[in-house]
Structure 1
Amino acid sequence: MSMCHVRGFFKLVVLMLSVTLVGCASSLARIDTWQGDPAEAADAAVLKSPGEITVVQVNGREMTNFLMDDLALDYGLLPGQNEVVFTYKTIWAKAGVVDNGESKVHTVESKPQRVSFEAVAGEEYRFSFTKPSSRQEAETLMEDFSADIVNRSGDVVASSGEWDAQAARKAARTPVPSGAGVSGDAQSGSTLDRMKSLWGDATEEEKREFLRWAFE
């Protein structure tokens, strides 16, 4: 194969990759955090998330892992109260020579954070946080990390705090009193749905304990 053919083939591959990446970029322009097609979605708010922030879940719904670090994403939020769980991560190059197989970077990551705020229709929000200038400074910040949510005008609407996943699971397990006039069949179906949901949230140890209790 001549060099001209090689160059032509290489250009074709580059062009195909460019088209693919452009298509991906447009499809990831905004991730909607709701299910279905609610009427409020027509005037949704947007939460802009920088590459250092990984949104784990919104309103209890797990967000997709795109298997890419440092990916800035926008999240569509329905107007009203929204709860966002996220982590903050920075990466720092290691100084000197590293052994084979050893990571060439230091990763400094916060504990999961939770922030809840009232989203206004059509408003745009973003994360605001102190940006460290060194790994040592980043590690110090992680000891008491918090991020603000600010609106388009730069006003702080909420601040994050550490998220207690265990407490969240316990809250989900709290029985909801059945309302008066609810039929037995409806109550049975609701209980089954709740049990399925709780099983999905349970840890492996909790599942083993439950099975021991159920088959004693």
Structure 2
Amino acid sequence: MSIYHVLQVFKVTAFPVMALRLFVFALAAAMLAGCASSLARIQTWEGEVAEGGRALLKAPGEIQVVRVNGLSMSDFLMDDLALNYDLLPGENQIVFNYKTIWAKTGVVRDGESKVHVVETEPHAVSFVAQAGESYTFEFDKPESRREAEALQERFSGAIVDGAGVEVASFKLWNGKTPGPARAPVSGDQRGTIGTTGGDTLGQLKALWQNASEEEKRTFLRWAFE
């Protein structure tokens, strides 16, 4: 269930200002989800790599990738937002949670959450990525909160390639991770990497990673005003 479906449950007719804010929030969420494929390509290694020397992992909104090869991805997580991850060719370990959000249908008391959150324990999957290939998560998708809660205890699935062929299956994460991946560096690049400015998206990522929790919250409030 998407954030948009959750928002539909809320009754806002008595409060036009709140209705407007919720509408803007839903619109922004829809725009972010719709633009994720073109705007959110998250680099999962340290250093630079040639444009053609990477693979792509597509994660739907229910999948929250928390680590890739030991490198934290938590700064990029937002509920129900699909994201794309660029991977280096070769062995990659992905650590993730499966998380769904369901609107409460009964009376909600003041201060109580208006949604049910169903989330699995961390899972991991390791596979050899090929340069230029596209991969995605394949798993059963529940139609109700009850189905999601049943799935929570026996969550399973696999990574499939662009042809739909399974390349690796999910397992419960054992807490072990490899070191962060680094792109191979040629002789003439060694003196420049880390000193030259990146593109706008790269600079924004760096700013976000260095921001405090309060600065991040302030930015998100501004983004959805």
State the TM-score, normalizing by the size of structure 2: 0.60
User: How far does the alpha carbon of each residue in 1:84-114 deviate from its partner, in whole angstroms, 9 at most, with x for none?
Assistant: 0000101111121110010111100011000
User: How far does the alpha carbon of each residue in 1:8-62 deviate from its partner, in whole angstroms, 9 at most, with x for none?
Assistant: xxxxxx9xxx9xx88x9688431111111245x5321100011111100101111
1:76 aligns with 2:103: no
- Quick one: distance in 2 between partners of 1:99 and 1:50? 31
1:45 aligns with 2:68: no
1:113 aligns with 2:123: yes
Q: Match of 1:62?
A: 72
Question: Contact (CA 8 Å) 1:44, 1:77: kept in 2 or not?
Answer: yes
1:88 aligns with 2:84: no
- In structure 1, the residue corresponding to 2:148 is in which secondary structure? helix
Radius of gyration: which is bigger? Answer: 1
State the TM-score, normalizing by the size of structure 1: 0.63
* Change in 2 beyond 3 A, CA 1:70/1:143: same
Q: Match of 1:33?
A: 44
2:114 to 104, 108, 114: 104
Structure 1 vs Structure 2 CA RMSD: 2.6
Work out the number of aligned pairs and report it. 150
Runs of 5+ unmatched residues, structure 1:
1-13, 173-216
User: How far does the alpha carbon of each residue in 1:108-131 deviate from its partner, in whole angstroms, 9 at most, with x for none?
Assistant: 001100000010110000001100
Runs of 5+ unmatched residues, structure 2:
1-23, 180-225
- Quick one: distance in 2 between partners of 1:153 and 1:135? 31
Question: Contact (CA 8 Å) 1:47, 1:77: kept in 2 or not?
Answer: yes
State the structure with bigger RCO (CA 8 A, min sep 6), 1 or 2: 2
- Quick one: distance in 2 between partners of 1:47 and 1:26? 11
- Quick one: distance in 1 between partners of 2:60 and 2:54? 19
Q: Match of 2:133?
A: 123
- In structure 1, the residue corresponding to 2:52 is in which secondary structure? helix
